[in-house]
Amino acid sequence: MSNFSIDPVVFDALASFKTPEQLGFGRVKSPVMYRANCIDGEWQAGEVGLYAPISVDPAAKVLHYAQEVFEGLKAYRVGERKPNFFRPLKNQQRMAFSARRMVMPEVPPEVFMEGISAITGLSKDLIPVKSGESLYLRPFLIGMTGELGMAPSSEYAFLVIASPSQAYHAGHMKVLIEREGCRAAVGGTGAAKTGGNYAAATLSAKRTQARGYHQSLWLDPVKRENVEELSGMNLFALIDGELHTPELTPTFLEGITRDSVIDLAKHLGHQVVERTIPIEELLQDIRSGRCTEVFACGTAAIISPVSVIADADDTAYELPQVDDLAATLRSRLLDIQERRSEDPFGWVVELEDEYYNLAETNAGAAEAS
């Protein structure tokens, strides 16, 4: 049994919460949040309170030196079943990897699971029940020590917030090859899920969107020759009937959806190839008709088809097939995540009863006191 505390004010906030019709992504927030502090390497008991601004020392390391890591995962409740997660320990492991890179303490699996489970259990009535929608969970860890010297923090806060959401990007994406900028450097933090990588991608995203495209396509930062990722999504291309995806490098993020798509596609009988993919070769393969389909995937985005890859001079390489294999993989993946089908991989993790019953158990106690 976990030993976190719940501020009783959250029950009124949850009872009076009205979920808007239009959710979008990450805009609507559950009124509760979880927090556990780590002081000098010791994890303190977790607390659930109201979603509210947090107090941060103006000299905190997170504000000046970006000592921060985060995760994104979802709780599903399609069919109004008991909520479930999808491979949550993969997120915990990736967060531990990111934390090591940023000289931060690893959030232990039990603290990570307690945080996401408490917020999901308390927010269960806010979880959308339409296919493709979910409660997007955002666990994050920040360096709180208020000293301006360049050194790791001694105090950290691990928080979990949640947002009833639709998919991040619905529809076909036009992507623009980023020929100038880099998202991450060799020896840098590209493989860690840390805010600085996303900050570094923002200027490119702004320019890309101003030109009428949806996402920048990042190339390797050394030669600028090989496909790496879209910010926040990994890429797949169907070439000669085989599914190709860039093999992992230390400069881009290992997607959990990427890993799941690889296993799922193999399970469905597809040949999957992880390899270096030179951008010129991919463009040539689109021109010649060998590459018939491209799609991106990520936790927030699920699986999103790409209709056009454009070069810096706006030369457009149109994909003849849009959302064909992508649609099949998306529906098979959602069938597992939303529990309409068998889960041959053991990916689905149901919310434990103690968390499912949190609202009822504690609301009664709060009223009695």
Nearest Cα to Cα of residue 324 among 266, 238, 197, 211:
238
Helix boundaries (H) for 245-324: 256-267, 279-288
Range in contact with ligand COI (rule: CB under 6 A) among 209-217, 297-305, 310-318, 321-329: 297-305
Q: 4 by DSSP, 3-state: which?
A: coil
Question: Considering the rule CB under 6 A, would residue 300 count as an interface residue with ligand COI?
Answer: yes
- Tell me the residue type at 312: A
Of residues 202 and 284, the one with the C-beta less far from ligand COI:
202
DSSP annotation of 110 reads H
Range in contact with ligand COI (rule: CB under 6 A) among 10-18, 175-183, 267-275, 293-301: 293-301
Question: Considering the rule CB under 6 A, would residue 232 count as an interface residue with ligand COI?
Answer: yes
Least Cβ distance, residue 300 to ligand COI (angstroms): 3
Of residues 145 and 215, the one with the C-beta less far from ligand COI:
215
Question: Considering the rule CB under 6 A, would residue 164 count as an interface residue with ligand COI?
Answer: no
Per CB under 6 A, the list member of 197, 299, 304, 362 interacting with ligand COI is 299
Range in contact with ligand COI (rule: CB under 6 A) among 81-89, 114-122, 158-166, 296-304: 296-304
Q: Which two tokens stand for residue 213?
A: 């495209």
Per CB under 6 A, the list member of 105, 143, 298, 305 interacting with ligand COI is 298
DSSP annotation of 226 reads B
Per CB under 6 A, the list member of 34, 168, 317, 355 interacting with ligand COI is 168
DSSP secondary structure string for all residues of 230-266 = ETTBEEEEEETTEEEEEPP-TTS---HHHHHHHHHHH
Least Cβ distance, residue 108 to ligand COI (angstroms): 21
Question: Is the CB of residue 30 less than 8 Å from the CB of residue 126?
Answer: yes
Residues 6+ apart with CB under 8 A from 230: 173, 175, 215, 216, 217, 218, 296
DSSP annotation of 146 reads B
Binding mask 58-87 for ligand COI (x = CB under 6 A): --------------x---------------
Measured CA to CA, the distance from residue 313 to residue 287 in angstroms comes to 16
Least Cβ distance, residue 181 to ligand COI (angstroms): 17
Distances (CA, A) of 173 to 112, 157, 296: 33, 36, 9
Using CB positions, name the residue nearest to ligand COI: 72
Binding mask 93-132 for ligand COI (x = CB under 6 A): ----------------------------------------
Of residues 11 and 236, the one with the C-beta less far from ligand COI:
236
* H or E segment and range at residue 61: helix 61-65
Number of residues that bind ligand COI (CB under 6 A): 6
Q: CA angle, corner 32, sides to 85 and 44, nearest 5?
A: 85
Range in contact with ligand COI (rule: CB under 6 A) among 16-24, 295-303, 321-329, 352-360: 295-303
Q: Which residues make up the interface to ligand COI (CB under 6 A)? A: 72, 168, 232, 298-300
